[in-house]
Amino acid sequence: MAVDLSQLAQVDTEPGELPGTMAAWVIRPERFGEPRDAFELEEVDVPEPAAFEVIVRVMAAGVNYNNVWAALAEPVSIMKYGDHPEFGHHIGGSDAAGIVWKVGPGVTRWSPGDEVVIHCNQASYEDVEVHGLDPMAAPSQKIWGYETTWGSFAQFTKVQAQQLLPKPAALSWAEAASYGLVYFTAWRMLITRAQIKAGSRVLIWGAAGGLGVFATQICRAAGAESVGVVSSAEKGALVEQLGAKGFINRNDFAGMMRKGGESPAEEKARFKVSRAFGQAVKELLGDAPDVVFEHVGMQTFPTSVLTVKPFGKVVICAGTTGYNLDFDVRYLWMKQKEILGSHFANAYECTKANELIESGQIRPVLWRTFGFDQVAEAHQLMRDNKHSGKIAILVGAAEEGQGRTAEGPGAINAEVGA
Ligand SMILES: NC(=O)c1ccc[n+]([C@@H]2O[C@H](COP(=O)([O-])OP(=O)(O)OC[C@H]3O[C@@H](n4cnc5c(N)ncnc54)[C@H](OP(=O)(O)O)[C@@H]3O)[C@@H](O)[C@H]2O)c1
C-alpha cells in the first residue's frame, strides 16, 4: 500500500498527544540486501512511551553506516537482537533532531515541546555498570536504531530519556540531526581512549568520511596535529579545511592494502609499500603518529600497527573491509604499541562533546540533505562510498534551513561526492 507523505510537515496532534499511525522506513528479513531494496515505506502504529521513555517527533534524521549493515544483514542479522523479536520489524536511524512529543512515567528533565538531539546509546538503568563503571559496559547496552527498532527514519521515534541532549540553537534541524553518532564515537576514541593532547600527532583513515571529519576537528580543537588518508584530492582539500596538516591519497599506496591469503613474496611487497606510506606520514606530521584512528579494518590494520610510533596507540571502532585482522605482531610487542577498542560513547561524553557544537568550535559537515522519500537512496550512496561528510534526511522539517533559533556558523558544506 502506498504511504501518503504529503502530511510529513503537518502532525494533527499537539505535543503531549500521539497520532495513531506514522510513516516509517522499515527493513524486514525478506528484503535483506542492497539498501535500495531493503528499505521500504510502511505505515505503522506510533509506540507509547514506557517508564523513563520519550516519544520524539523526528524533524530530521541522520544517515549512518550502521543501517547499511542492517540492510545487508552483515555481519549478522539485527532481527535477533534488542526489541526486534518483540516488534518483528527494524525501523533504523541512529541520529535525529526533533521535538519531545510525549514523555513516559518518571521523566522529569524533559517536557513536550522541548527541542532536542538524540544520542544513540541505550542501557537499562537497572544494570549496575550504568551506575559505577560505564553504560557502554552494561549487559543491556544497545545502539538505538540499529540493535533496536523505533529509530529515526520515521515520523516519531521512541528513546530513553537519558538519550536526549539540547538541540544546538544555531543549527537547522538537518544540521542538528547529522553529527551525533560519528562525532560522539570519534570523541570517545580520541579523548577518552587514546587521550590525545596538545602536540599529539594523529593519523586518520577515511578523514573525509563521517567519523573522519569529526576526528579531524577534534584534533584541531585539542591542539593535536592530524594527517588524513583519503581517496581523492577534493576530499583532501576538505580535510585540510577542517584543520588537518595535510592528506595522503591512499590510491598512491594501493599496494599496502591487505587482501588476505597473500603469498610470502606478495606480503613482502605489501610491507614495502606500507613502509613508504609510513615515511610519507612522517614527512607530513614531522614524526610518526602517536595515535592512529582506525575503522577500515582488515585492509589497513597491518599498516596502522606498523606506522604508529613506538609506545603509540591504534584506536579502532570498526572493520569495514573485514573484521578478522592479522598483522605482524613483532611491531606491536617490540615497540610496545597498544590497540584500543572503542564503541560509541556514554551520555556524559555525548553531553561534553555536544557543548562544543553549541559553541561552534566543532561544526557538522553536511554533504547533502535529502527528502524523506530518499532514505534508501542515501544509504546506497554511502554503501557505494560516493559521499563525504554526512547526509541528513528531512522528516518533519519542510526545508533545509528550518529549525535555527539563533545566529551561528551552521554546518560546513562538503562539496565532494557523487
Ligand atoms: N563502533 C562504533 O561505535 C562506530 C561508530 C561509527 C561508525 N562505525 C563504523 O565505522 C565505519 C566507518 O563509518 P563512517 O560513518 O565514517 O563511514 P563513511 O562515511 O563511509 O566513511 C568511511 C571512510 O573510509 C574510507 N574507506 C573506505 N574504504 C576504504 C579502504 N578500503 N581503505 C581505506 N579507507 C577506506 C572512505 O574514505 P576514502 O575513500 O576517502 O579513503 C570513507 O570516506 C563503518 O563501518 C561504521 O559502521 C562504528
- 251 and 384 inside one domain: no
- 150 and 228 inside one domain: no
- 64 and 158 inside one domain: yes
Distance CA 314, CA 300 (A): 11
Q: Is the C-beta atom of 94 inside 6 A of ligand 1?
A: no
What is the identity of the amino acid at 409?
Answer: P
Tell me the whole-structure pTM to 2 decimals. Answer: 0.97
The total number of structural domains in the chain stands at 2
What's the grid cell of residue 320? 569495514
Which residues form the domain of 292?
182-341
Q: CB count, 10 Å around CB of 133?
A: 12
Within a domain: 355: no
**CATH at residue 194:** 3.40.50.720
Among protein residues, the one with the nearest Cα to ligand 1's atom 15 is 210
Which of the 8 DSSP states describes residue 190?
I
Q: Is the C-beta atom of 343 inside 6 A of ligand 1?
A: yes
What is the pLDDT at residue 169?
97
Within a domain: 404: yes
pLDDT digits (tens, 9 = 90+) for 148-178: 999 999 999 999 999 999 999 999 999 999 9
Rg (CA), the chain: 21
Q: Is the C-beta atom of 185 inside 6 A of ligand 1?
A: yes
Distance CA 3, CA 286 (A): 57
Q: Is the C-beta atom of 382 inside 6 A of ligand 1?
A: yes
Identify which of 189, 211, 365 to mutate to test ligand 1's pocket (most ligand atoms within 8 A of the CB). Answer: 211
- 197 and 175 inside one domain: no
Distance CA 62, CA 146 (A): 13
What's the grid cell of residue 237? 582539500
What's the grid cell of residue 328? 605482524
**DSSP element (H, E) containing 227:** strand 225-230
- 336 and 371 inside one domain: no
- 274 and 331 inside one domain: yes
Q: Which residues of the chain have pLDDT under 50?
A: 418
The ligand 1 atom at the shortest distance from the C-alpha of residue 69 is: 47
Within a domain: 269: yes
**CATH at residue 105:** 3.90.180.10
Q: Helix %, strand %, coil % for the chain, to 5?
A: 35, 20, 45
**DSSP element (H, E) containing 382:** helix 375-383
The ligand 1 atom at the shortest distance from the C-alpha of residue 66 is: 47
What is the pLDDT at residue 2?
80
What is the pLDDT at residue 4?
84
Give alpha helix (H) positions in 263-346.
264-285, 301-307, 330-333
Taking a C-beta distance cutoff of 8 angstroms, is the pair 213, 190 a contact? no
- 210 and 143 inside one domain: no
Within a domain: 372: yes
What is the pLDDT at residue 240?
97
How many helices and strands (H and E) does the chain possess?
13, 18
Within a domain: 3: no
Helix, strand, or coil (residue 400):
coil
Phi, psi angle pair for 317, to nearest 5°:
-125, 5
Distance CA 262, CA 266 (A): 6
What is the pLDDT at residue 3?
87
Residues in the chain: 418
Identify which of 63, 64, 65, 182 to mutate to test ligand 1's pocket (most ligand atoms within 8 A of the CB). Answer: 65
- 49 and 75 inside one domain: yes
- Dump strand ranges (E) for 299-337: 313-316
Task: Write b or e for each residue in 288-311: b if 16 or more Cβ atoms lie within 10 A of its Cβ, otherwise e.
Answer: bbbbbbbbbbbbbbbbbbbbbbee
> What are the CA-CA distances from residue 362 to residues 108, 168, 218, 219, 285 (Å)?
30, 12, 7, 10, 22
- 303 and 213 inside one domain: yes
First and final C-alpha spacing in the chain = 32
Q: Is the C-beta atom of 386 inside 6 A of ligand 1?
A: no
Distance CA 198, CA 223 (A): 4
Distance (Å) from CA 255 to ligand 1 centroid? 19
- Dump strand ranges (E) for 28-172: 39-45, 53-62, 96-103, 115-118, 121-122, 142-143, 156-160, 164-166
Q: Is the C-beta atom of 321 inside 6 A of ligand 1?
A: yes
Which of the 8 DSSP states describes residue 186?
H
